[in-house]
C-alpha cells in the first residue's frame, strides 16, 4: 500500500497531463531571416531576441550548431537580450543521439540554431535524441529559433538543400528542378508551411512559391510559405500571433487558385492567384484568422483601375539582341502582317538599333527605319508622313528625359505621342526602355547593386501607355539585381498607388492587348516566366522605418508592408486580365481594333446604311463609294472579306450567331455587330 500511493499519483499525473496536453500552450518560434545581429541596445535584432527570452520560462538560452561555436551569441543574449544564462553547444553526428545531449537541451527554454548549411542540420539531427528534444521542448512551451539555415529547418516542410542551394531563376525555369529537395521528417513545429530566408537580399520569393508548387505537385497537398528578409525576424507566440522585428519584411504566401492543379506540373513555374501579405516592423499577423494588426500605417487613398490603352504594347526584359529573339519574332510576325513597316526610335547610340534592324529584316519585315529621337533628330523632313504610314514602333536605348523632351517640345514628338496610343498600333519597348511604358519610371540606378537597400531608387512620371502599371525589366538578369527587384517593385506600387507590377526576366517578354471578349490581357513568353503583381491593398500599407544600425544616418530600406497583393507567373499558355470591359479587342492576334456598336438609326451619320439586322441571307448597303469590308466571328477569324463598291453581300452560308462587321471607307472605319438568324 505504501508503494501504491506514489504509483497512483504518477498515473493521475500522467492522465492529467495527457488530457490537458490537448489544450496545453504549445511552443513559440523565432524566425530570423539572416544577416548580422548587432550587440548594441539599438540594434535591429535586439528587440527580437528580447522577445524570445521573455517568452521563455527560465530565460536560459542555448545556441546550437553542428560544427563551431561563437562567442558573440552567449554574450549578446545575457548582455543585451535579458537572458539569465546562455551557452553554445555543438551537436554533431557523434553526440546527436545521446541521452546526455537530450538532457542538456531540455535544461534551456530558448534554443537557437545558428546559420550554416541546413542539409547538415537535417542529416545530422533527423531521427535522433536531438530532434526529440526540440519537439518535446516546443510542446512544453519552449521557444525554438533559427537564423538563415537555422530558420529553414523549423518549418514542418523543410527545404534541406541537399543538392546545393537552388536559385530563384533556376526555380522559375523548372519547377520540377531536382535541387528543390523538400522533406517533412525532421521537426514537427509548424505544419502546413515552408520557410525561406534572405528573401529580399537574394530575391527569393519566386523560389518560395516554387517550393509550394513542388510540394503540391509531389503530394497534392497545398502548403503556405513564410519568407523572412535578412536583418528581419518574426516571433510567433503560443497564441499563434506573429510579431515582426527589424529592417525588412515577412511575407505570408498562399495559393488562392480555384484550379484543381494550381501550379505547373512540369517546366516553367506557372501559377495564378498567389496571395501575399507583407509585414514590416511592429506589425502582427494572426495565423488563426489570417488578420493583421499594423503599426505606423500609411493610409493611401487610391482607386485602382483597369488598363484601357488602345494600342498593343509589347515589353522585353533584356537589352541585348541575343536575349530578344522570341520578342523580335513575335513583334515582326505575330502582330499585324509580317511585311508591315517598322520604325525604331533610339537616342544618341544607334549601334544596338542597327543590330535590331538587321535582325528584324531577316525575320521577313520589308521596311525598317531608324530615327534618333532627340530634338535634332525629330526635324527630319517627311517624318510625320513616315509616322502616319507606320503602325509598328520600337523604342531602344532612349532615356525618359529624351522621350519627354521630344514628345512635349516638338510637333513631331507630340504627333508620335498620340500615335503610339491609337488603335491599330503596336509599340515595343526593349529592355531598359520597357520601364517607360508604365505609370511611373524607376530611376536609372534600379540596376545598381544595393540601391533599394540604401534607399536610392526614385520614380518619375512615365509615358502611361499602361497607366496603372510599373515595369521592372532586367529582373533576375544577375544577382546584383535581385534585391532591387523584389524590394522596389512592390514598394513603389504601394507608394505611387500602382495597380500592376511587372517583373520581366531575361529572355522573356510580356504583351498587353485586348481580345474579342472586351477584356485586356497580359500574355508572356520566353525562357523564364513573367511575374505580375496586382495591388489589392488600399488601406493597410506602410514602409520600413528601421535601419540596421551599421552606420549613423542610414535611411530605411525601400521595403513596403501591405495587406494584400496577388502574384502570377505567366508562360506562353497563360493569360492575366489587365482590364475589364474595355471597348477594344484583338482581331486574329493582329493589331488592336475598337469594336464600336453603332445603332442602326445612327448609321446615316457616317454616310452609310446597313440593313436588315438581324439578317437571314442578304445584307444590304446604301453605298456609292469604294470600301473594304470584313466580317469576323467572335474569336476574331475573318469569315468574309470584299473590296470595291459594294451594295449587298450574302451571309446565307454563315451559321446562326453574332458577328462583327468592319467597313473601311477612306480614312473612316465603321464597325457594327450583326446578328445572323
Q: What is the pLDDT of residues 3-57, one digit of tens each?
A: 444 444 443 443 333 333 333 348 999 999 999 998 887 899 999 999 999 999 9
Alpha helices in 56-89 (DSSP H): 72-79
Strand order across the beta sheet in which 638-645 lies: 638-645, 626-632, 657-665, 668-676
Please return the burial class of 384, using the count of CB atoms within 10 Å of its CB with bins 0-12, 13-18 and 19+.
Answer: middle
Name the band, by pLDDT with cuts 50, 70 and 90, for residue 347.
confident
Please return the burial class of 9, using the count of CB atoms within 10 Å of its CB with bins 0-12, 13-18 and 19+.
Answer: exposed
Within 10 angstroms of residue 422's Cβ, the number of other Cβ atoms is 15
Q: Look at residue 595 in the predicted model and tell me its pLDDT.
A: 29
Query: Residues 158-216: pLDDT tens digits?
Result: 999 998 889 999 999 999 888 999 999 999 999 999 999 999 999 999 999 999 999 99
Query: CA 122, 115, 127 angle in degrees (round to 5)?
Result: 20
Where b means 16+ CB within 10 Å and e means fewer, 281-309 reads bbbbbebeeeebebeebeebeeeeebbbb
What average pLDDT does the segment 302-330 reach?
Answer: 88
Q: Checking DSSP bridges between strand 440-442 and strand 368-372, what pairing results, if any?
A: unpaired
Percent of the chain with pLDDT over 70: 87
What average pLDDT does the segment 596-616 reach?
Answer: 58
Percent of the chain with pLDDT over 90: 60
Q: How far is CA 492 from the centre of its chain?
A: 13
Q: Has residue 136 been placed in a domain?
A: yes
Q: Has residue 491 been placed in a domain?
A: no
Query: CA 171, 29, 36 angle in degrees (round to 5)?
Result: 70
End of a domain among 223, 258, 292? 292
Distance CA 120, CA 339 (A): 60
Is residue 63 located within the same domain as residue 190? yes
DSSP assignment letter at 333 = I
For 424-499, strand residue ranges (E) read 426-429, 440-442, 459-461, 469-475
Query: Residues 481-502: pLDDT tens digits?
Result: 899 999 999 999 999 999 999 9
pTM for the model? 0.82
Is residue 220 located within the same domain as residue 108? yes
Instruction: Give the contacts of 653 (CB within 8 A, at least 6 positions apart).
Output: none
Q: Look at residue 214 in the predicted model and tell me its pLDDT.
A: 95
Q: Residue 583: which of 673, 651, 509, 492 has the closest Cα?
A: 673
Half-sphere exposure of 640 (CA within 13 A, CB side): 18
For residue 263, say if its preceding peptide bond is cis, omega within 30 degrees of 0: no
Q: Checking DSSP bridges between strand 426-429 and strand 440-442, what pairing results, if any?
A: unpaired
Is residue 76 located within the same domain as residue 159? yes
For 151-240, strand residue ranges (E) read 158-159, 182-183, 193-196, 224-228, 232-236
Q: Has residue 246 been placed in a domain?
A: yes
pLDDT for 603 beyond 50? no
Distance CA 51, CA 176 (A): 39
Q: Look at residue 490 in the predicted model and tell me its pLDDT.
A: 96
Tell me which H or E stretch contains 219.
helix 205-219
Distance CA 516, CA 412 (A): 33
pLDDT for 605 beyond 60? no
Q: Residue 31: which of 58, 52, 57, 10 has the closest Cα?
A: 52
Is residue 282 located within the same domain as residue 342? no
Residues 476, 458: contact at Cβ < 8 Å?
no
What average pLDDT does the segment 345-371 reach?
Answer: 92
Is residue 62 located within the same domain as residue 144? yes
Q: Has residue 547 been placed in a domain?
A: no
Distance CA 551, CA 553 (A): 6
Please return the burial class of 235, using the count of CB atoms within 10 Å of its CB with bins 0-12, 13-18 and 19+.
Answer: buried
Name the band, by pLDDT with cuts 50, 70 and 90, for residue 420.
very high
Q: Look at residue 314 in the predicted model and tell me its pLDDT.
A: 97
Within 10 angstroms of residue 609's Cβ, the number of other Cβ atoms is 12
Is residue 252 located within the same domain as residue 371? no
What average pLDDT does the segment 243-251 reach?
Answer: 97
Distance CA 627, CA 643 (A): 6
Q: Look at residue 19 in the predicted model and tell me its pLDDT.
A: 33
Q: What is the mean pLDDT of the chain?
A: 86
Residue-wise DSSP of 528-564: S-EEEEEE--SSSEEE-----SSSTTPPPPS-EEEEE
Instruction: Give the contacts of 293 (CB within 8 A, at least 6 positions apart).
Output: 283, 284, 286
Q: Has residue 304 been placed in a domain?
A: no
Q: Look at residue 237 in the predicted model and tell me its pLDDT.
A: 97
Q: Look at residue 658 in the predicted model and tell me its pLDDT.
A: 83
List, in sequence order, every residue forming a beta bridge with 675; answer none if it has no partner: 658
Distance CA 657, CA 655 (A): 6
Q: Look at residue 625 in the predicted model and tell me its pLDDT.
A: 75
Distances (CA, A) of 92 to 23, 70, 101, 107, 122: 35, 16, 10, 19, 11
What average pLDDT does the segment 447-475 reach?
Answer: 95
Split into its structural domains, the chain has a count of: 3
What average pLDDT does the segment 212-227 reach?
Answer: 96
Q: How far is CA 45 from the centre of its chain?
A: 28
Is residue 230 located within the same domain as residue 163? yes
CATH number at residue 65: 3.40.50.880
Is residue 326 located within the same domain as residue 235? no
Longest dimension (CA), the chain: 119
Is residue 255 located within the same domain as residue 400? no
Q: Which domain holds residue 422?
A: 312-444+457-478+500-526+566-586
Residues 434, 395: contact at Cβ < 8 Å?
no
Is residue 369 located within the same domain as residue 250? no
DSSP assignment letter at 207 = H
What average pLDDT does the segment 557-573 reach?
Answer: 93
C-alpha cell at 489: 517593385
Q: Look at residue 515 in the predicted model and tell me its pLDDT.
A: 73
Distance CA 513, CA 330 (A): 13
Is residue 574 located within the same domain as residue 670? no
Instruction: Compute φ and ψ for 604, nearest 5 degrees.
Output: -65, -20
Name the band, by pLDDT with cuts 50, 70 and 90, for residue 666.
low
Q: Look at residue 668 in the predicted model and tell me its pLDDT.
A: 64
Distance CA 398, CA 412 (A): 17
3-state secondary structure of 106: helix
Name the band, by pLDDT with cuts 50, 70 and 90, for residue 622.
confident
Distance CA 425, CA 161 (A): 48
Q: Has residue 553 been placed in a domain?
A: no
Instruction: Compute φ and ψ for 537, nearest 5 degrees.
Output: -105, 115
Q: Has residue 281 been placed in a domain?
A: yes
What average pLDDT does the segment 372-389 reach?
Answer: 67
Distance CA 307, CA 659 (A): 25
CATH number at residue 602: 2.60.40.3080
Cell numbers 452560308 correspond to what residue?
A: 653
Query: Residues 251-305: pLDDT tens digits?
Result: 999 999 988 899 987 789 999 999 999 999 999 999 999 999 988 776 655 556 7
Q: Has residue 164 been placed in a domain?
A: yes
Q: How far is CA 59 from the centre of its chain?
A: 41
Helices 400-409 and 411-419 pack at an angle, to 10 degrees, of 110
Q: Look at residue 540 in the predicted model and tell me its pLDDT.
A: 85
Is residue 639 located within the same domain as residue 575? no
Amino acid at each position: 500500500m505504501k508503494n501504491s500511493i506514489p504509483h497512483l499519483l504518477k498515473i493521475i499525473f500522467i492522465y492529467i497531463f495527457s488530457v490537458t496536453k490537448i489544450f496545453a500552450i504549445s511552443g513559440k518560434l523565432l524566425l530570423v531571416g539572416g544577416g548580422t545581429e548587432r550587440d548594441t541596445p539599438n540594434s535591429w535584432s535586439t528587440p527580437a531576441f528580447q522577445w524570445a527570452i521573455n517568452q521563455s520560462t527560465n530565460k536560459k538560452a542555448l545556441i546550437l550548431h553542428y560544427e563551431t561555436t561563437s562567442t558573440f551569441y552567449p554574450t549578446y543574449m545575457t548582455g543585451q537580450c535579458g537572458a539569465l544564462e546562455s551557452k553554445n553547444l555543438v551537436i554533431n553526428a557523434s553526440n546527436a543521439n545521446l541521452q546526455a545531449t537530450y538532457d542538456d537541451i531540455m535544461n534551456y527554454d530558448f534554443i537557437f540554431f545558428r546559420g550554416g548549411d541546413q542539409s547538415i542540420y537535417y542529416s545530422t539531427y533527423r531521427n535522433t535524441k536531438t530532434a526529440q528534444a526540440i519537439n518535446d521542448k516546443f510542446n512544453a512551451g519552449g521557444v525554438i529559433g533559427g537564423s538563415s539555415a537555422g530558420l529553414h529547418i523549423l518549418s514542418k516542410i523543410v527545404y534541406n538543400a541537399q543538392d546545393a542551394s537552388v536559385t530563384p531563376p533556376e526555380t522559375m525555369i523548372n519547377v520540377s528542378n531536382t535541387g528543390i529537395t523538400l522533406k517533412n521528417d525532421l521537426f514537427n513545429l509548424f505544419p502546413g508551411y515552408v520557410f525561406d530566408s534572405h528573401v529580399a537580399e537574394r530575391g527569393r520569393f519566386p523560389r518560395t512559391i516554387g517550393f509550394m508548387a513542388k510540394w503540391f505537385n509531389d503530394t497534392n497537398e497545398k502548403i503556405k510559405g513564410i519568407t523572412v528578409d535578412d536583418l528581419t525576424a518574426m516571433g510567433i507566440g503560443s497564441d499563434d500571433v506573429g510579431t515582426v522585428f527589424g529592417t525588412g519584411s515577412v511575407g505570408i504566401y498562399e495559393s488562392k487558385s480555384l484550379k484543381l492543379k494550381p501550379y505547373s506540373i512540369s517546366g516553367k513555374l506557372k501559377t495564378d492567384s498567389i496571395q501575399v501579405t507583407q509585414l514590416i516592423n511592429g506589425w502582427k499577423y494572426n495565423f488563426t484568422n489570417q488578420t493583421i494588426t499594423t503599426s505606423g500605417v500609411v493610409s493611401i487613398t487610391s482607386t485602382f483601375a483597369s488598363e484601357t490603352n488602345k494600342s498593343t504594347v509589347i515589353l522585353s526584359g533584356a537589352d541585348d539582341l541575343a536575349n530578344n529573339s522570341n520578342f523580335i519574332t513575335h513583334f515582326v510576325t505575330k502582330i499585324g502582317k509580317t511585311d508591315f513597316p517598322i520604325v525604331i526610335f533610339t537616342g544618341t547610340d544607334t549601334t544596338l538599333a542597327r543590330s535590331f534592324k538587321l535582325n528584324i529584316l531577316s525575320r521577313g519585315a520589308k521596311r525598317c527605319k531608324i530615327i534618333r529621337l532627340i530634338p535634332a533628330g525629330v526635324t527630319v523632313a517627311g517624318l510625320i508622313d513616315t509616322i502616319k504610314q507606320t503602325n509598328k514602333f520600337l523604342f531602344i536605348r532612349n532615356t525618359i528625359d529624351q522621350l519627354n523632351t521630344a514628345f512635349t517640345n516638338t510637333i513631331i514628338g507630340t504627333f508620335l505621342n498620340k500615335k503610339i496610343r491609337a488603335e491599330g498600333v503596336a509599340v515595343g519597348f526593349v529592355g531598359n526602355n520597357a520601364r517607360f511604358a508604365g505609370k511611373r519610371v524607376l530611376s536609372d540606378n534600379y540596376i545598381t547593386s544595393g540601391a533599394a537597400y540604401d534607399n536610392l531608387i526614385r520614380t518619375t512620371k512615365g509615358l502611361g501607355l499602361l497607366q496603372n502599371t510599373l515595369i521592372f525589366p532586367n529582373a533576375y538578369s544577375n544577382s546584383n539585381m535581385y534585391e532591387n527587384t523584389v524590394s522596389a517593385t512592390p514598394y513603389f506600387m504601394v507608394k505611387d498607388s500602382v495597380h500592376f507590377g511587372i517583373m520581366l526576366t531575361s529572355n522573356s517578354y510580356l504583351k498587353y492587348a485586348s481580345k474579342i471578349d472586351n477584356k485586356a490581357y497580359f500574355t508572356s513568353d520566353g525562357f523564364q516566366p513573367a511575374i505580375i503583381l496586382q495591388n489589392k491593398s488600399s488601406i493597410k500599407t506602410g514602409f520600413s522605418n528601421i535601419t540596421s544600425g551599421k552606420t549613423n544616418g542610414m535611411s530605411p530600406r525601400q521595403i513596403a508592408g501591405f495587406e494584400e497583393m496577388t502574384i502570377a507567373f505567366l508562360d506562353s499558355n497563360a493569360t492575366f486580365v489587365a482590364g475589364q470591359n474595355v471597348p477594344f479587342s484583338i482581331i486574329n492576334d493582329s493589331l488592336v481594333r475598337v469594336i464600336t456598336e453603332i445603332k442602326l438609326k445612327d448609321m446615316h451619320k457616317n454616310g452609310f446604311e446597313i440593313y436588315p439586322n438581324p439578317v437571314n441571307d442578304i445584307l444590304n448597303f446604301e453605298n456609292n463609294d469604294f470600301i473594304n469590308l470584313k466580317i469576323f466571328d467572335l474569336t476574331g477569324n475573318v469569315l468574309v472579306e470584299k473590296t470595291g463598291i459594294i451594295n449587298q453581300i450574302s451571309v446565307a452560308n454563315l451559321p446562326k450567331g453574332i458577328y462583327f462587321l468592319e467597313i473601311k471607307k477612306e480614312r473612316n472605319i465603321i464597325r457594327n455587330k450583326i446578328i445572323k438568324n
